[in-house]
Structures are given as structure tokens and as C-alpha cells.
């Protein structure tokens, strides 16, 4: 249940393959390098509970450092490769990082952040090249396990809707470093992951789900195939080339694959796939139906967050009976809470909470931590939803995305899920823009398909499309067109940037 065990039993087996170059890192190589880095951390004085920040791309290096921290009892804070100097400086200071490890491509940002950070005794390493190469600093250090191994964890920073990112800090695991984790149990029992798994990682490894699932596969002795960045056709090619058995995607990836030409989609042999998992954002019902029709009933979904205070999950067969659901609880218990703080009856919409799940805190922010829990000790990810008679959860939208127009609550997710199914829409975001009369007006920001002109005629076509399906109240009053929408590399839509843009425009005379 750990790479150090596989380094003995199957030393030459690939732990990771880089999709772009087909370079391989074996379990033996991964374990020895992770042990050397762990010895370096101890030599620098890092002890259980300390934090290491990394600014690393989708390469072998992030696994080496992650497994080093995992066996030292350290928190790993992986920072977005697209971060600004200001945000990196904030995260270094807020996390109390004792070391920062940056990839060669990000060394300039790291150097500038180091100069501005107020943390004392912070060590900066470049993984390869740069001022202090990490591997050079590890030369001559033992390739065996440190004398005081201790299970570590990640402390990742959420992007947040407003203000600075929040560091999500779980409790460090107790017990041996090779003990089974809840995510391992989920991977094995729900998705059949194991030592024969060939897993396609499609998203940036500085995000919670991609990093955690890749490490689960390596705990189990499988092989991780890492894409540097997502490309719809390349993902199909890699599935065929490596005979991929497991993969994780976000709904945006599904949309992009489905919009490939039929002759391209039919070109690749995908028969090796055993389980495909999606999360991170709601998947429109027609999109998921189309994926199940294409790939068969191997599509799985789960709902959780970086906080992992609870998880719901369901497979294709359950979803076909409960289309639109994100499943039943597999970690914690789902509770739907009304405005008075009390649990509401089945079928009633309210704030989604989890009871009896793992505890977490927002690092150095007791007020935000307090706001995440209610007086019963239940935790929320700030989503709105309801539960049916069989305990299946349905999400309505993010609480912070809800539009209030003329006193009416409008949930943009439903409108987005419809518009993305239009054949001439490549991408879409629906937001509430300030309106002097109505408070907010519903605005659809649309990326048209290549070759489609975003003009008044197309606006009217989309307006009729929404009105016919959802009625007049939910129909956007305004359609704006963009060549591209702001999305994180995982595919998550950065609505906060769009909302901030419209709010700034409203404030201008």
C-alpha cells in the first residue's frame, strides 16, 4: 500500500510515464529519490507538521517531493504554475513554509516571491538547474527510509470566490505511512483500482483531485500516465496507446471530446477502459448521457471538495435511474439545512452539509473555519441542493453563484447546462451582473463554435432556445460573446473574474 513496498516487489515497474515524451520513472527510482529528499528535509530541521511549498509542473518531480513529504509527516502545499508573485508570496507566508521547491520554468517567480516573503529560514530549491538544484543538494544522502517516518498530508489552497486563497488543512494521519487511506478504499471498492491499473491523469497535479488520485494509484502499485495539458484527441490516443484502464476527467473534458468530429472519435480503441471518474463541476445531463452511450456504463461520478469533509458517489447504472444526481454518501452523512439552521424534509432545497466526516480547518483563519461548520458540527462546501427519498443528492448550484433578480432566485448552473448542449456553443458562463432596477440581471457569456458569428442574430437564436426550454424568468436578458472563457487548467470556470469585470464596468460612469 505504498511506493516503498512496490520498490522492493516490482522495482523496475513504471510508477509514472510522461505522455509527451514517454519517459519513465520506475518505482525503484521514485522511492530512492523520495528517500533522499526526505533525508534532506530532516537535515534542514523540518519536523512533523511543517510545510513544504512546491511550484512544479506535470512531471516526475512533483511525485518525488510529494512522496518525500508523505514519509516525513509534512504538509505539501502545491501552488498553481500560473500563480502571481503576490499570491505565491502570500501562500508562502500564510502556510509558514520551511522550503519552496520550484521547477526550472518557474524559478524567476519563485526568486521574486522569496525576496518579498517574510518567512524566516525559508529554503529555496530549484528541482533542476537554478540557484540551488534540489537533486544536487541530495547527492550522497541515504536512499533508504528515514529513521522516524511519519505520514504526511497535503494542505492545498482553494482559489476562493473573494479575497485571498484559503489553505485547507486536514489533520495529519496517525499510524504507519503505508496504512490504507479512505481514498484508497474508495478507489478499490468503487472503481476497481489496483496494481494492474494504468491511470490517465488529465489535469494539473497542483490541484487536489488530480494529485490525490495519482498518488492513490501509486500506493496501489499501478502506473500513472501524466498529460502535461489536456487535449481532447490526445487523450483518446493515449487511452489506446497505453491501454488505459482508469482515468479522471472534468465535465469540460467530456464536452470537448464529444465535440470532436465523428470520424476522429471513432478512430481510437477505448476498449481497455474499466472505470472513468469525473468530478469538480456539475455535468449536464445530456453530456453524461452521451458519454455513457459512447463509452458504456463505466462512467462514475463523485462530489466532494478540497476539504474532503464528505463524499457522495454513484455509478452509471445508478445515475441512469437518478439522472442529475451526484450520488449517495460514501464518506460522512448528507444533511440539507434550511435558513433557520435546521434540517429540512426530504425533497426540500437547502444548504448541503456533511455530518460525521473528517475534520479540517482553514489555516490561520479561525473565522472562515467557524463559518464552514454549523452549531451541530456539520461542515459545508457552500453548495445548494436536495436529497430524494433514496438518499441521492442533487446539487442546485454554488451558493455564491445564485442570481437574485427582482427578488427571484435564479441558479445559473441549470441555464449553463442547457446552453452547452447547443451545437454552436463551445463554452458558456452564466452570471449575475449588477442592475439598477432588478438588483441583478442574468447574463450569458458565450464562446461560439469556430465559424459561428457572435451577433444579434445568434443572440436571438440562443434566447429562444433557453426560453422554450426553461421559460422567460430563467432566460438571460443579455448575451455577450468571447473568443475564450477564463478557465483553470482543470477546466473549472473562473466565474469570479467575469463577475468582477461586470461589477467594475457597472461602477464606471
Q: Measured between alpha carbons, how far is residue 401 from residues 394, 396, 493 in Å?
A: 16, 10, 12
Mean pLDDT, to the nearest integer, of 155-160?
Answer: 79
Q: What is the pTM of this model?
A: 0.86
List the domains of the chain with CATH numbers: 27-175 (3.40.50.980), 180-306 (3.40.50.980), 331-399 (2.30.38.10), 402-507 (3.30.300.30)
Report the chain's mean pLDDT, rounded to a whole number: 93
Mean pLDDT, to the nearest integer, of 439-459?
Answer: 94
Q: Using CA atoms, how far apart are residues 248 and 283, in angstroms rounded to an integer?
A: 13
Q: Above pLDDT 90, what percent of the chain?
A: 80
**Bigger pLDDT: 118 vs 397:** 118
Per-residue pLDDT tens for 366-387?
Answer: 999 999 999 999 999 999 999 9
Q: Using CA atoms, how far apart are residues 305 and 57, in angstroms rounded to an integer?
A: 22
Q: What is the pLDDT of residue 159?
A: 61
Three-state DSSP class for residue 288: helix
Q: What is the pLDDT of residue 161?
A: 45
- Of 39-43, 218-222, 396-400, 431-435, the one with minimum mean pLDDT is 396-400
Three-state DSSP class for residue 360: strand
Per-residue pLDDT tens for 63-116?
Answer: 999 999 999 999 999 999 988 898 899 999 999 999 999 998 998 999 999 999
Is residue 426 packed enough to be buried (19+ CB in 10 Å), middle (13-18) or exposed (0-12)?
buried
With CA atoms as reference, report the closest residue to 137 among 146, 150, 128: 128
Q: Above pLDDT 70, what percent of the chain?
A: 98
Q: What is the pLDDT of residue 141?
A: 98
Amino acid at each position: 500500500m505504498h511506493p516503498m513496498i512496490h520498490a522492493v516487489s516490482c522495482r523496475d515497474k513504471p510508477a509514472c510515464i510522461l505522455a509527451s515524451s514517454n519517459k519513465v520513472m520506475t518505482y525503484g527510482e521514485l522511492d530512492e529519490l523520495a528517500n533522499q529528499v526526505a533525508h534532506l528535509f530532516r537535515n534542514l530541521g523540518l519536523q512533523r507538521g511543517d510545510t513544504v511549498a512546491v511550484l512544479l509542473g506535470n512531471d516526475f518531480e512533483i511525485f518525488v517531493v510529494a512522496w518525500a513529504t508523505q514519509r516525513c509527516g509534512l504538509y505539501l502545499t502545491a501552488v498553481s504554475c500560473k500563480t502571481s508573485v503576490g499570491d505565491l508570496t502570500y501562500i508562502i507566508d500564510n502556510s509558514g513554509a520551511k522550503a519552496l521547491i520550484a521547477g526550472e520554468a518557474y524559478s524567476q517567480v519563485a526568486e521574486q516571491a522569496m525576496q518579498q516573503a517574510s518567512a524566516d529560514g525559508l529554503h529555496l530549491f530549484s528541482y533542476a538547474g537554478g540557484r540551488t538544484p534540489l537533486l544536487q543538494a541530495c547527492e550522497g544522502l541515504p536512499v533508504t527510509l528515514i529513521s522516524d517516518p511519519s505520514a504526511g498530508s497535503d494542505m492545498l489552497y482553494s482559489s476562493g470566490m473573494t479575497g485571498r486563497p484559503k489553505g485547507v488543512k486536514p489533520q495529519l494521519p496517525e499510524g504507519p505511512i503505508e496504512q490504507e487511506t479512505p481514498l484508497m478504499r474508495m478507489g478499490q471498492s468503487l472503481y476497481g483500482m489496483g496494481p494492474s491499473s494504468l491511470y490517465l491523469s488529465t489535469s494539473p497535479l497542483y490541484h487536489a483531485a488530480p494529485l490525490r488520485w495519482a498518488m492513490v494509484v501509486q500506493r496501489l502499485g499501478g502506473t500513472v500516465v501524466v498529460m502535461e495539458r489536456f487535449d481532447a484527441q490526445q487523450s483518446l490516443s493515449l487511452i489506446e496507446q497505453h491501454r488505459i484502464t482508469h482515468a479522471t476527467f472534468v465535465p469540460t473534458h467530456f464536452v470537448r471530446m464529444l465535440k470532436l468530429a465523428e470520424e476522429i472519435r471513432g478512430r481510437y480503441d477505448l476498449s481497455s477502459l474499466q472505470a472513468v471518474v469525473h468530478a469538480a463541476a456539475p455535468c449536464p445531463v445530456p453530456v453524461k448521457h452521451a458519454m455513457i452511450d459512447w463509452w458504456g456504463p463505466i462512467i462514475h461520478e463523485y462530489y466532494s471538495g478540497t476539504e474532503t469533509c464528505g463524499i457522495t458517489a454513484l455509478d452509471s447504472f445508478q445515475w441512469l435511474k437518478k439522472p442529475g444526481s451526484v450520488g449517495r454518501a460514501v464518506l460522512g452523512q448528507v444533511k440539507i439545512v434550511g435558513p433557520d439552521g435546521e434540517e429540512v424534509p426530504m425533497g426540500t432545497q437547502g444548504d448541503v452539509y456533511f455530518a460525521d466526516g473528517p475534520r479540517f480547518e482553514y489555516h490561520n483563519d479561525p473565522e472562515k473555519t467557524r463559518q464552514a461548520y454549523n452549531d451541530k458540527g456539520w461542515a459545508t462546501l457552500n453548495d445548494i441542493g436536495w436529497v430524494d427519498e433514496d438518499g441521492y443528492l442533487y446539487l442546485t448550484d454554488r451558493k455564491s453563484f445564485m442570481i437574485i433578480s427582482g427578488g427571484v432566485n435564479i441558479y445559473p448552473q441549470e441555464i449553463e447546462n442547457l446552453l452547452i448542449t447547443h451545437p454552436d456553443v463551445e463554452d458558456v458562463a452564466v452570471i449575475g451582473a449588477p442592475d439598477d432596477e432588478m438588483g441583478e440581471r442574468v447574463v450569458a457569456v458565450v464562446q461560439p463554435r469556430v465559424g459561428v458569428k457572435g451577433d444579434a442574430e445568434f443572440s436571438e437564436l440562443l434566447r429562444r432556445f433557453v426560453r422554450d426550454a426553461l421559460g422567460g424568468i430563467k432566460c438571460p436578458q443579455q448575451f455577450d460573446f468571447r473568443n475564450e472563457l477564463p478557465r483553470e487548467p482543470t477546466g473549472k470556470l473562473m466565474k469570479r473574474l467575469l463577475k468582477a469585470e461586470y461589477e467594475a464596468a457597472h461602477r464606471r460612469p
